[in-house]
Amino acid sequence: PGSFTVGLDQIWFHSENENVGAGINVVGLRSPFHSPEHKQQVLKNGLPNKYHPSDHMPVGCILEWDVDTDCNSRDLRSSDKIGFTDSTSSEGGRGLFEEDRNEGDVLQEISELLAACPFSAEEQRKDFEFVISPVQGMPLERGMRPTSEQILQVQQRRKVKKKLWEDVSDDAREMLERIIVLTKEASKFSK
């Protein structure tokens, strides 16, 4: 806030061999902001600040390598949607920013993340779907108290989530955390 300095963190790709770079395309860009509110907070307070102790914003991109279709390799991250936007969208190559998203975009991202999540067993997928499933009658209207059944259902979900978080890989956990954020975002469209 005291003085404004323009500087951008960047990701560069370069190859001395022209043929090596020919099979690589940028297919996604990561938005450095978690929400429109986060963007406003950063623009208002600058960086670093008490909420974001670094003077750098996280940047990321998804690179797609052209590979032989007979190759039996698998994407190590298993997802191109963790907080990323599609640079090939109709938005002129800039992708969808958080404030431009609609419920369909959010639900699509949730679906793609769930399909790509590297669960080690189908039981983990079922446990996670239970964790994010809605509790009947919640959220509550202002001034209402949860029933004992609702409290029990929330406790069950917390217990399953705790166990699941101990068992899944770091990559899966990162994807699942993103799905939880998106699930909350999607519920706002229903209000």
The pLDDT assigned to 37 comes to 83
pLDDT greater than 70 at residue 73: no
Write a three-state SS string for the chain.
CCCCCCCCCCCCCCCCCHHHHCCEEEEEEECCCCCHHHHHHHHHHCCCCCCCCCCCCCCCEEEEECCCCCCCCCCCCCCCCCCEEECCCCCCCCCCCHHHCCHHHHHHHHHHHHHHCCCCCHHHHHHHHHHHCCCCCCCCCCCCCCCHHHHHHHHHHHHHHHHHHHHCCHHHHHHHHHHHHHHHHHHHHCC
pLDDT tens-digit profile of 97-146? 455 678 888 888 888 888 888 898 999 999 999 999 988 888 778 888 99
Residue 156 has pLDDT above 90, yes or no: yes
Place of tokens 């999607």: 186
List of residues 6+ apart from 12 with CB closer than 8 A: none
The whole-number pLDDT of residue 161 equals 94
Tokens of 80: 């191109």
Strand order in the sheet with 24-30: 61-65, 24-30, 84-86
How would residue 162 be classed by pLDDT, with cut points 50, 70 and 90? Answer: very high
Which residues, at least 6 apart from 160, have a Cβ–Cβ distance to it below 8 Å?
A: 127, 130, 131
Q: What is the pLDDT of residues 20-66, one digit of tens each?
A: 545 677 777 777 777 788 788 888 888 887 777 777 777 777 777 76
